[in-house]
Amino acid sequence: MDDRITNEYILSAMNDLIEAVGIKESVAGSDLEALVSSGQVQQCVEAVCAQLGISPRVSVKHVSSLAAHSSGDSFHSTQLSKTDTRGRGYEGITAQVRLPRQVPLYGSAASEGLAVEVLVGDDVARHARTFLAMMAHELSHVLLYLLWHPQRDNEVWTDLTALLQGFASVLRDGRKVSEERLVAGRRKRVETTFGYLTDAQFEFAFAQVQTTLADRQTTRQQALALASNVASACSRGRGMIDEFRTLLARLHEHPLSKYRTKDAPILVRCHATGYPEDFERCLEAAAELANRVSTECRPGAWYTKASTQLVSHYMANLQATSSDLGRQLGRIADETRTLRRYAGLIFRLKQWLRSDQ
């Protein structure tokens, strides 16, 4: 851990990483912890990979701490996996990742099914939360390596990557282990901190993640709410068009000899060429936009710079569409009220009874 790392450095690194890998909503740490506790380490590691958006071919090997630290090419995190003066892991918590020397670029055909060997200690189930924190860190190295990121070997940046990829709470829960140990012949409770950030640095980064996520979530929720309103308006609009056509057909079948002078402009609009077909096409486009936004802005979103810009673009389109729909719904509502006036009481009563069934 380096006390000299400033909040400005952390914030700059996080902004760079959000550009590179985005920011994700929190993963359910309890579900992952349950997998480790039940001995399903392979499934847990694969779930962590899925959260990170990588799909390597994972091979989990349970090895002794000494064997893990003496392995060949691997990410050896001497601060994350605590070691003694001989390089051996202690406290039963060891987690390392071994990759081929040549790592393909993320998204290439060769990156699919990349062979990744995960070496774990003998007692990871007893320290499931810390094991999860370590796996989130180590596999974030893999993500940065696949991206050929210039900071892929930077341990602080790797911790920040894990925080941004949905593991903020996982790291917070697992970065400290408090146990009783025999120290100088006396039992003493000792707290060990894992990771590359001091408590103050971690809490600053954690708070930044929560703030950024809250901003993205608020924008997403606003977009979803607006999409829902537009979809509802489209549904009302289709019903209004059906009633408009029924009333207009009634007027044609039973024309009156006399109309109110003030209704003349509205009745002329009712017979405009291409109406209400133009409005129907408008409703179809609006409904398609609302459906697309509802699908792409679903919960559990992956917020990247591109996706954030896309949501902002959708918001602008939805606001314009909502405003246009409001005007057109107001217009057809006026026309429908006018046509109802000339439909006759008996006809209107029949229509009301039919719609109430």
141, 251: one domain: no
Q: Tell me, what's the pLDDT at 300?
A: 60
Is this structure's pTM higher than 0.95? no
Residue 204 covered by a domain: no
Residue 342 covered by a domain: yes
Residue 282 covered by a domain: yes
Residue 1 covered by a domain: no
231, 292: one domain: yes
Query: For the purposes of burial, counting CB atoms within 10 Å of the CB of 322, is it exposed (0-12), middle (13-18) or buried (19 or more)?
Result: middle
Residue 2 covered by a domain: no
Residue 123 covered by a domain: yes
193, 223: one domain: no
Query: For residue 190, what are the contacts with CB-CB under 8 A and spacing of at least 6?
Result: 178, 179, 180, 181, 183
Span 89-143, pLDDT tens digits: 345 456 778 888 788 888 888 888 888 888 887 777 778 888 899 889 989 999 9
Which of 166, 197, 228 is a domain's end point? 197
Domain range holding 120?
7-175+187-197
27, 79: one domain: yes
CA 190-180-66 angle, 5° bins? 80
Which of 197, 232, 258 is a domain's end point? 197
Which of 138, 162, 197 is a domain's end point? 197
The radius of gyration of the chain's CA atoms, rounded to the nearest angstrom, is 31
Span 140-160, pLDDT tens digits: 999 999 999 999 989 999 999
